[in-house]
Chain A
Amino acid sequence: MTEGEPVTPGEPAAQAPRPPEAVGGSGGALQAPPVNQFDPQARTALSNLMLAMADDEFVLGFWDSEWTGIAPVLEEDVAFASLAQDEIGHAQALYRLLADLDGGDPDAIAFGRRPEEYRHARLLDHPRTDWAFSVARRFLYDTADAARLDALVASAYAPLAEVVAKMRREETYHLRHMLAWLERLATGGDQPRARLVAALERLWPDALCVLDGVEGDDLLVEAGVLAEPLAATRRRWLASLAPELARLGLPGPPPAAPAAGCRGPDRGGDFRWLWEQFTMVRRSDPEAVW
């Protein structure tokens, strides 16, 4: 986000970005194009984008799985297990696309890197903390991710467009669920509301990072992979959220741009702890065959 970029709450509900002219055909069975359709810089940017998306989904999936067995109500044990499973599934599909593009093994990309090599947004460095914190984080992430997926629907990189089309159909349930919880905590009395407001204030600066920190996104717009630069996606996301936040009287984003280092390499101890958990089995025997 450039300094002073306006966030206009009055903007009409976000419009789906128009598909770039270069896209041949819309939806349907697109023939997978050869991977050398892009010049080397754009291709590197495509890898950056897919790795950022995959790591976002992967790390959030692991944090949310932490609620299994201890969520405030049984229904949320079930719901957060499903949400986490969806995200890990999306990460798996995206790591597969990365392996198809750059070579390598999807499992090695997922589990074989050092903590500083992960490229998830800083929003996902926080531990699950309390329930309001997890709800606030997931609401901000899911809505930002929805805006990002909208910008990829007509992507010129057909394998990505295909996976995105599938992911979007599942995300509708995530969005609805998280809005319901946001409302419930915002209107559920003093303590839930205070916890939610505190969580949103703490998380907003890092939430802006979900739509930032992918080097070369301008090249991806030129190549028809993304419908718009991420800064424009971020404006569209904030415009779509503004009416809901105003209705519930909840804090909005800070005016400043996201600080540098949105996607690593500096990570706190919380992510290192999670990394040790989710890589533990693989590190015990990296060559094991399952």
Chain B
Amino acid sequence: MRTVSETEVWEALAEVPDPEIPVVSVVDLGLVHAVELDGRRLKVELLPTFVGCPALELIRASVAERLAGMVPEVEVEMTFAVPWTSDRITAEGRRKLRDSGFSPPGPAPASDRPLFATIAMRPTAACPWCGSDDTTLENLFGPTLCRTLFWCNRCRQPFEQFKAV
């Protein structure tokens, strides 16, 4: 078996789509915490986006399936070692989200303040269709745990924003 490089592992990971928003990959979303490649062994650690996200096992299994066979031993695990935050979504990931009608998240709230201090947080979003900032928050919650609903007052279209967490 020829030697597999870490770059090839990352390229393979970039082909694994998010099951709920398939325009972006697990790499675009910043879900990959660590890639450890040691000759015959490959270990990949992924970060859960939302603790209760029902797609986590599906994501883990899709990554394991894509990497299977690259080296004899492949291990894919979820870890809370660092908290996933929406700030990890790459510039490329944000562009792909916008192109498919999702407003990318704004900066995540600072996590070093008392949680109650974040109560005044109110997300704003530019319309992914027409670019207008004249938008109205319709619902902090949406069709999946990671989405918020907006309405564009200019082009009169609903759209979704990835939550800033």
Contacts and interface: CB of A to CB of B under 8 A. Distances in A.
Given A27-B82, A170-B51, 4 more contacts: A13-B117, A83-B141, A172-B121, A175-B116
Nearest to B51: A89
Contacts of B119: 172, 175-176, 179
Contacts of B116: 13-14, 143, 146-147, 150, 175, 237, 240-241
A169 B109 CA distance: 8
Instruction: Identify the interface centre among A87, A168, A170, A171: most chain B CB within 10 Å of its CB.
Output: A170
Interface in B82-141: 82-85, 108-109, 111-122, 138-141
Interface in A228-252: 236-237, 240-241
Contacts of A240: 114, 116
Interface size classification for chain A: 35 or more
Contact of A79 (B80, B83, B141): B141
Contact of B53 (A27, A79, A89, A236): A89
A281 interface: no
Is chain A's binding surface mostly helix, strand, loop or mixed?
A: helix
A88 B140 CA distance: 19
30 contacts: A13-B114, A14-B116, A28-B82, A75-B139, A78-B139, A78-B141, A82-B145, A85-B52, A85-B54, A86-B50, A89-B52, A89-B53, A89-B145, A92-B51, A93-B51, A93-B80, A146-B115, A150-B115, A150-B116, A165-B80, A165-B82, A166-B48, A166-B83, A169-B83, A169-B165, A170-B50, A170-B165, A177-B140, A177-B141, A240-B116
Interface in B47-64: 48, 50-54
A150 B114 contact: yes
Across the A-B interface, give the 3 residue pairs with the lowest CB-CB distance, nearest first.
Answer: A89-B52, A146-B115, A162-B80
B143 interface: yes
A241 B52 CA distance: 27
